Amino acid sequence: MRALAIDVGSTSVRTALVDEHGRLSHVVRAPLTVRTPQPGEVELDGAALAAVALECARATLARGGGCDAVGITNQRATTLLFDLADGSVLGPALSWQDLRTVVDCLILQGEGLRLAPNQSATKARWLLEHAEGSRGDWRVATIETWLAWHLSRGEVLVADRTNASVTGLARIDLADWDEDVLARLGLDRSLFATLVDSLGEVGRARTLPGAPPITALIGDQPASLFGQGCVRDGAKLTLGTGAIVNAHAPGAAPASALRRPSGCYPTALLSAGGAVTWGLEGIVLSAGSCVDWMVELGLAASPAEADARAAGAASDGVSFVPALAGLGTPWWDFGARGAFVGLTRGTSRDQLVRAVLEGVAQRGADLVEALADEGVTLTQLRVDGGVSASPTVVDALADLTGVPVGVSAEREATARGAGLLALVGAGLLDLADLEDAGAPERVVEPRASADERLARRERWRRAIEVARGSIPQLSAIAF
C-alpha cells in the first residue's frame, strides 16, 4: 500500500510515496519562487505553484510506479484568487506570512471584528479589491483547494476544515463558512469552496497516471502531528524557520477561536466522519531563522559546525533571546527584538553559538509551559523539522522541559502524515495504525536536575524581559 504525498511548504514543494509503515521513497523536491515586493509583503505565483506540484508528483510516480491514494498537505492560510472558467490566477498568491493587511486588521478590530493579518480573511478581500478586469466566476482558494481543483481537472472544488479553521472565515464549529464575517468583509459566499472532511475521497487526480483517488486534505502542522504518531494524545514541536507546537487538548470544541491567556489558540487537527478533532497550537516566530542568521554572520560555517562549537562551550550565564521577528506564544510581543544577555569581555564565539541554540530550546520550553497552562501534561514531546537534527537543541529541550523528547525519523513529518492519512482516507489503514508508523527514531531523556532546570528557566525569564518592548509601537499591537 502506498500513497502519494504532496507537501507544499512555504518555500518548496516535496512529493513522495509513503507506505503503510510511514516510510518515504522516491522523494522529489523543487523550490518555489517567493517574492517580497515591499517589507512585510510575501507573494507566490499561484500558477507556478500548481505547475511545480504537478511536475514533482509526476516525477515521483514515474520513478516509483503507481499509488493507491493521494494526500495533500500545505502551508495554511496562503490565499489566492482564480477564475473558475479558465483557471487563470488573478494577482499574486498572498503567503500566510504576508502582512500587507495589518492596518485593515486594526481597523476591523476597532469595529469589533478580530482578525489577524496571517489569516486568509483580509487577504481574500485585498485580492478582490486589487484584481483587474470585470468580475467573472471567481473563487478564493487556499492551497489544498487550488491543488485538488488542478489535480481533478476542475471537477473538485473543496476546502478542508483544518485549513478553514485558520482562515478567520469559518464558523467556530466548522460546519460552514461564517456568513456574518463574510458580510462584514463584503465577501460573497459563492466565492468559497465546499467544506469537507480531511479524510475520505473527494475526487480523482485525473492529471496523474491511473487517476488515483484524492483521500486526504490537511494543513501542514496537523499533518506533522499525525505523521509523528500523535493520534489520540500527545504533542509535536516542528522546529523549522519558526517553531510550532500542536497538541491534543482536553475538553470539547472551543467556544471561541481567539487566542487564550496562555498564548495558545484552538485549531482543528482533523475532520473525519463529520466530527472535528480539536487541539491547541503555539508559535515561536524565530527558530531555524536564528541558526541561519548565525551562519550568515560567520559565527559558524554551517548548522553542523554550530553544533560542534556549542558542544565544547559552557554557557557561563550567556543567553540569547531568538526574537528576530518578535515573540509569539506566550507573550505575543511583535515589538520584541533579539538580544544577547550576560556578555563579558571574555565571552567567546563558541559561547555565542551555544547561546543561540539553547535560546531556540528555551523557546520550545516556553511552548511546553503554555500547554501545561492549558491542562496538557506530556509524557513525551515529539519533534521534527530541520533544527531537530541539532543534538544541542534537542538535549537542551529535554533538560529545560523535564520531558523526554522523541526525535522523528523523518525530519519533515508533514509528507509522512499526509501519505498515511491518505491511506486511512482510502480505507486501507485505521487511524490507530499511525501510532506505530510515526514512532520516533530515538528518545532523549532529561539529564538536568530539577534545581538546575529551574535556575536556567529563571535566568531565561530575566533575559526575555530585556528583549520585550524593544519597539513600543509594535509591542502595543495585538491580534
Among 181, 197, 222, give the residue marking a domain's end. Answer: 222
Question: Is the Cβ–Cβ distance between 161 and 170 less than 8 Å?
Answer: yes
In percent, the amount of the chain with pLDDT more than 90 equals 91
User: Do residues 217 and 366 both lie within one domain?
Assistant: no
* Nine-digit cell string for 464: 526575555
CA dihedral for 179, 181, 186, 190, sign (positive or negative) = negative
Q: Which of these three, 188, 222, 256, is where a domain ends?
A: 222
- The C-alpha atoms of residue 314 and residue 239 are separated, in whole angstroms, by 23
What is the pLDDT, as a whole number, of residue 359? 97
DSSP class of residue 189 equals: G
Whether 203 and 243 share a structural domain:
no
Cα angle, residue 381 at apex, residues 380 and 384 outer, rounded to 5°? 140
Helix (H) or strand (E) holding 285: none
Q: Which ranges of the chain have pLDDT less than 70?
A: none
CA 192 to CA 76: how far, in whole Å? Answer: 16
Q: What range does the domain containing 130 cover?
A: 2-222
What is the DSSP code (8-state) at residue 50?
H
Residue type (1 letter), 416: R
Same domain, 395 and 259: yes
The dihedral built from the CA positions of residue 305, 294, 311 and 391, taken in this order, carries a sign that is negative
Which single residue is written with the C-alpha cell 469559518?
170
Say if residues 43 and 78 touch (Cβ distance below 8 Å). Answer: no
CA 79 to CA 75: how far, in whole Å?
10
* Residue 429 domain-assigned (yes or no): no
Is 441 domain-assigned? no
Per the structure block, which three cell numbers stand in for 240? 523549522
**What backbone torsions phi and psi does residue 9 show, to the nearest 5 degrees?**
-90, -170
Same domain? For 276 and 391 the reply is yes
CATH of the domain at 260: 3.30.420.40
Give the residue from 161, 223, 217 showing the smallest Cα distance to 438.
Answer: 223
**pLDDT of res. 251:** 73
SS3 percent helix, strand, coil of the chain, rounded to 5, is 35, 25, 40
Q: How many domains does the chain have?
A: 2
* One domain, residues 47 and 91: yes
Which helix (H) or strand (E) segment holds residue 21: the answer is none
Last residue of a domain, one of 175, 193, 222: 222
DSSP, collapsed to helix, strand or coil, labels residue 32 as coil
Q: How far apart are CA 92 and CA 78, in angstroms?
A: 10
CA distance 444 to 449: 15
How would you classify residue 216: left for phi > 0, otherwise alpha for psi between -120 and 50, otherwise beta? beta
For residue 63, give the amino acid letter. Answer: R
Q: Which three cell numbers stand for residue 237?
A: 514541536
Q: Answer whether residue 438 is part of any domain.
A: no
